[in-house]
Amino acid sequence: MGGAKTDIILLNESDIRCDGRKIDELRKIIIKAGVLQNANGSSYIEFGNNKILVGVFGPRDVHPKHLANTNTGILRCRYHMSPFSVDERKNPAPSRREIEISKVIKEALEPSVILKKFPRTVVDIFIEVLQADGGSRCAALNAASVALADAGIPMRDLVSACAAGKIANSIVLDVNNEEDQFGQADMPVGYMPNLEKITLIQLDGILTHNEYATCIDVAIQGCKTIYQIQKKALIDKFFQGDIK
């Protein structure tokens, strides 16, 4: 981030990005719900080159017991990158970055899930990044919200997430790995499309007020597109695609 020097042309004269996308185009997204037998809910997402598997357990007994809350259920989240998910082997121990992403994903899902009905229990979300590219926190959040719905956890709305950013002085949708490293700004946004509420917003880089406003609009448009894909994944699993 911060526009390091590179030979990669992030945006050419005809507004085509380094991976051949237009400035308002998402990467290819595939979501599948209910891919694991032993978890209560699960999902798998391919978001460009990201490949992420999510398993949800619960509501179930809280261990250690002192974390239990008698008024409501609690949410726990673990974001983990497999050692083989990046170019060079990653140490499987949780890094500073993974702990941060676990926390922001948990906080992005909390406004959506309704755990009041499940006092003294916990809902555990396990996110396993099998292959990492830029924007894995957004991809993980999308998959986690589908897995929660698959587990039958009551939710106010699905949470869709998408990043927007600034490269070569233009605002673009869905920042990939190269653009994240050499671009000027990256802003992941988590959004509940039906309630029209933002649950996650982070910004790495510098944007003017106008650029910021455009960035949010662009990201929200992306979230709305992703929401349809999430919804389709659930419909495919539960109704075998049969819906009016």
Residues that bind other proteins (CB under 8 A): 40-41, 58-61, 70-71, 112, 114, 117-121, 149-158, 192-195, 231, 234-235, 238-239, 242-244
Q: Which is nearer to other proteins, 2 or 152 (CB)?
A: 152
Q: Which is nearer to other proteins, 81 or 159 (CB)?
A: 159
Helices (H), the chain: 96-109, 136-150, 177-182, 209-239
Cα distances from 38 to residues 138, 146, 194, in angstroms, run: 25, 16, 31
Q: Which is nearer to other proteins, 77 or 207 (CB)?
A: 77
Q: How far is the CB of 121 from other proteins (least distance, A)?
A: 5
Q: How far is the CB of 81 from other proteins (least distance, A)?
A: 28
Residue type, 244: K
Owner of token pair 């998910």:
85
Number of H helices, E strands in the chain: 4, 10
Extract the tokens encoding 75: 């949410």
Owner of token pair 């948990």:
106
Q: Which is nearer to other proteins, 20 or 241 (CB)?
A: 241
Q: Which is nearer to other proteins, 6 or 228 (CB)?
A: 228
- Nearest residue to 174 (alpha-carbon basis) of 145, 143, 134: 134
Q: How far is the CB of 157 from other proteins (least distance, A)?
A: 3
Calculate the CA 120 to chain-centre distance.
27
Q: How far is the CB of 234 from other proteins (least distance, A)?
A: 5
Q: How far is the CB of 194 from other proteins (least distance, A)?
A: 4
Q: Using CA atoms, how far apart are residues 79 and 101, in angstroms rounded to an integer?
A: 7
Q: Which is nearer to other proteins, 106 or 197 (CB)?
A: 197
- Nearest residue to 12 (alpha-carbon basis) of 20, 3, 1, 4: 20
Q: How far is the CB of 166 from other proteins (least distance, A)?
A: 30
Cα R_g (the chain), whole angstroms: 18
